[in-house]
């Protein structure tokens, strides 16, 4: 009996998603609750589990299609044997478009014309390990662009699947190896005619890639923030000497006791939560013609993930210890890389901290994450000359930027908040005595 696989509930207010990748092919056996496809929503990637054990007989939609919650995307036959599959209309159309002559081209090479050796490489990979057969569209494009054999690359994605970064890294390693293999002698200079030909016939390539649903949502929300909020940014700098010394003094004991490293983010989360008690407007939001003030501090921490920046929420940060904050952030970072964050993990933040310093940023003007009213931008630490007690000395300094909604937060409140954060970081004892 064939059982339909339906799109599961994707979260509050989310009614549809994009089928990003099929994880199982028609004819393959699947276990109950085993993931057969990956859906991409506005915020996260969601795996679609098999409702029963059996054989995947039909794929009713193609990768890249938009599917609604509750829609059927595949069929599983509980009584079929592995290897039995039924061609779907989408597959038949794809096959006829890709190979109208019926030459038996592999699905992984759909719509591409390849040199024989490249076609053989990808075709061989398509019949190999599972993590090779489930190449996503982006990975297939990267394989064709960089001329690499996917069967020779070890995937770092979920369940060993290949990612675009894996392909790019393999291509770079291939280039480096080729350069090392060359003799140290200088190559002969090409003839002038050959130089002229190379100059005039150089290729200029373009690649058009459809924006992911996550990127579309980020673009829309950030533009909405600019159009709706009266955004302004205030700056300050902070001497990181005290925090750096505290970390150096206690990092080993902290890690031994709590099983997690003591990072800078714990200090900043605590400092922001403490400052919000003095300036509650920074932790508030506008809803209609009302201002909502909160006695809790749910801070969204910007985390880099393979598909873009995500902002999981550390809830009730005002009541958490340093160890609890660091453990929560580390867990979110791990899950972001694995693509296992849920919609609930990224919903409901009241304030955001974004650390562009890990990428080398010196200064920026972060954009508010609606419906929040403020965001703190951290930046890289570098030694700069400052005046201390009448002497010019070198200190590890960091620029801080607070972007805020001027409709709700006055300039005095914004500056006061940032000064409170600066004072707590430069004198961490304030965090312990609640000053």
Annotated catalytic sites, by residue?
406, 410
Structure tokens belonging to residue 98: 């890709």
Q: Is the peptide bond before 367 cis (omega within 30 degrees of 0)?
A: no
CA pair distance 52, 384, nearest whole angstrom: 62
Q: Which residues contact 152 (CB under 8 A, 6 or more apart)?
A: 170
Dihedral sign, CA of 245, 251, 252, 253?
positive
CA pair distance 360, 383, nearest whole angstrom: 14
Pairing of strands 391-405, 374-388: antiparallel
CA pair distance 230, 232, nearest whole angstrom: 7
Q: Which residues contact 408 (CB under 8 A, 6 or more apart)?
A: 281, 284, 285, 286, 291, 373
């Amino acid at each position: 009996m064939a059982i339909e696989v339906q799109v599961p509930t994707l979260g509050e207010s989310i009614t549809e998603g994009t089928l990003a990748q099929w994880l199982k092919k028609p004819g393959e056996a699947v276990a109950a609750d085993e993931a057969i496809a990956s859906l991409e929503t506005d915020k996260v990637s969601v795996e679609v589990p098999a409702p029963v054990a059996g054989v995947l007989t039909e794929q009713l939609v193609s990768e890249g299609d938009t599917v609604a919650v509750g829609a059927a995307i595949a069929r599983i036959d509980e009584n079929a044997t592995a290897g039995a599959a039924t061609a779907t209309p989408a597959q038949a159309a794809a096959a006829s478009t890709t190979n109208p002559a019926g030459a038996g081209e592999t699905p992984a090479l759909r719509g591409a014309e390849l040199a024989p050796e490249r076609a053989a490489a990808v075709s061989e990979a398509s019949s190999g390990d599972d993590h090779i057969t489930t190449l996503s569209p982006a990975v297939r494009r990267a394989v064709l662009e960089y001329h690499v054999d996917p069967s020779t690359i070890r995937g770092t994605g979920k369940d060993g699947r290949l990612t675009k970064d894996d392909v790019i890294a393999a291509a770079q390693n291939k280039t480096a190896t080729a350069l090392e293999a060359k003799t140290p002698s200088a190559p002969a200079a090409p003839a002038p005619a050959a130089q002229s030909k190379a100059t005039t016939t150089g290729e200029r390539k373009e690649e058009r890639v459809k924006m992911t649903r996550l990127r579309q949502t980020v673009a829309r929300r950030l533009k909405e923030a600019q159009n709706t909020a009266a955004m302004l940014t205030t700056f300050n700098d902070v001497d990181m000497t005290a925090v750096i010394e505290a970390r150096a003094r206690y990092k080993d004991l902290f890690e031994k006791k709590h099983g997690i490293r003591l990072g800078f983010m714990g200090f900043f989360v605590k400092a922001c939560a403490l400052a919000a008690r003095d300036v509650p407007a920074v932790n508030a939001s506008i809803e209609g013609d009302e201002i909502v003030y909160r006695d809790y501090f749910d801070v969204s921490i910007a985390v880099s993930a393979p598909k873009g920046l995500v902002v999981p929420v550390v809830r009730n940060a005002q009541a958490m210890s340093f160890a609890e904050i660091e453990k929560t952030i580390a867990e979110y970072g791990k899950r972001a890389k694995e693509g296992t964050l849920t919609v609930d993990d990224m919903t409901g933040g009241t304030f955001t901290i974004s650390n562009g310093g890990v990428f080398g940023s010196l200064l920026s003007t972060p954009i508010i994450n609606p419906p929040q009213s403020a965001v703190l931008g951290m930046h890289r630490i570098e030694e700069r000359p400052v005046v201390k007690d009448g002497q010019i000395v070198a200190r590890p300094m960091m620029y801080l930027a607070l972007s805020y909604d001027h409709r709700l937060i006055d300039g005095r409140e914004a500056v006061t908040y940032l000064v409170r954060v600066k004072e707590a970081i430069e004198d961490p004892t304030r965090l312990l005595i609640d000053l």
